[in-house]
Amino acid sequence: MSTEKRLEARGSRLAAGLRPGACGPVQPDGSRRAAPGSRLRTRVWPALALLAVTALAGAGCRQDMHQAPRLDPLEQSDFHADQRASRPLVEGTVARGFLRDDKIFYTGKVGTALVADMPVPVSRELLVRGQERFDIYCSPCHGRTGDGNGMIVQRGLKQPPSFHVERLRAEADGYFFDVMTNGFGAMQDYSAQVAPADRWAITAYVRALQYSRRVEAARLSDEDRRTLEGQAGAPGAPHGGSSTHE
Ligand code: HEC
């Protein structure tokens, strides 16, 4: 049976179900009023009749919702001129949660100029999140410390520049966001894997990595300075990512 026929059949079933008097007991003269009687009977009869009709209607004229006349998604329809049952979205429709009107947050730019500073406040939580995301999505190539010698590079991929070179230290915060959003040269973009908020978290963490190589010793806590001096003095001691050499 064609879709149209099916719909027609469903439609007439529905119509039959809705026609008054099509089901339930109907008086020979077509009325549902009770014969005249005592005052009490006059009052009770219509109520009883209504109850019976309702009960019978409920049992005999069920219109299941799963049989309702309807069009399935992407089905052909002759109702609309373009024959599409699924209607295109009204122009300008925005899915909930996708209103990206904060251009700086979603592009890292004002017009075409990259923003110098992060548009979100930098907190410890943001840095921790950034470190986690960086280690997952960037370190395979850029290495955990951003030197550009990750495992994939060691296995033959083009080596990216170290994040610690002067050129990248001088870049705007928006630049890192932009590279992640649109890719750069041989590097693919990470817009599908890393959400905008996380791209900013990673940007903050890359900044922290860069800063970690340039901290003046005087700005370290006594404890950190002692640890650092201890490491520098001990031959063969492991050098972490926060060592002072370039
Ligand atoms: C699969 C390897 C790979 C991954 C993963 C990767 N990158 Fe890259 N990245 C590269 C390569 C290769 C280049 C150099 C591209 C070129 O010069 O053609 C690069 C370049 C860069 C640059 C420097 C652009 C410049 O001006 O020289 C930045 C910044 C950068 N990546 C950030 C990131 C961040 C942040 C992540 C994590 C979200 C990431 N990359 C993930 C391979 C990768």
Using one digit for the tens of pLDDT, what is the confidence trace for 25-37?
A: 444 554 444 444 4
Q: What is the mean pLDDT of the chain?
A: 82
At residue 162 the predicted structure's pLDDT band, cuts being 50, 70 and 90, is very high
Q: Picking from 32-41, 136-145, 173-182, which range would have the lowest pLDDT averaged per residue?
A: 32-41
Looking at residue 46, what is its pLDDT? 80
Place of tokens 């410390």: 145
Q: Report pTM.
A: 0.67
Instruction: Return the higher-pLDDT residue of 165 and 34.
Output: 165
Residue 232: CB atoms within 10 A of its CB come to 13
Token code pair at residue 4: 């149209």
Residues 213-236: what's their mean pLDDT?
84
Structural domains of the chain, with CATH: 1-25+33-86 (no CATH), 103-231 (1.10.760.10)
- Strand, coil or helix: 184: strand
Q: Does the C-beta of 152 come closer than 6 Å to ligand 1?
A: yes
Instruction: List C-alpha distances in Å: 216 to 73, 211, 242.
Output: 64, 10, 12
Ligand 1 atom with the smallest distance to the CA of 199 is 38
Say what percent of the chain tops pLDDT 70: 73
Question: How far is ligand 1, taken at its centre, from the CA of residue 184, in Å?
Answer: 7
Say what percent of the chain tops pLDDT 90: 54
Q: Pocket of ligand 1, candidates 187, 199, 202: which has the most ligand atoms within 8 Å of its Cβ, to mutate?
A: 187
Looking at residue 138, what is its pLDDT? 98
Q: Does the C-beta of 186 come closer than 6 Å to ligand 1?
A: yes
Q: Pocket of ligand 1, candidates 132, 184, 198: which has the most ligand atoms within 8 Å of its Cβ, to mutate?
A: 184
Residue 187: CB atoms within 10 A of its CB come to 16
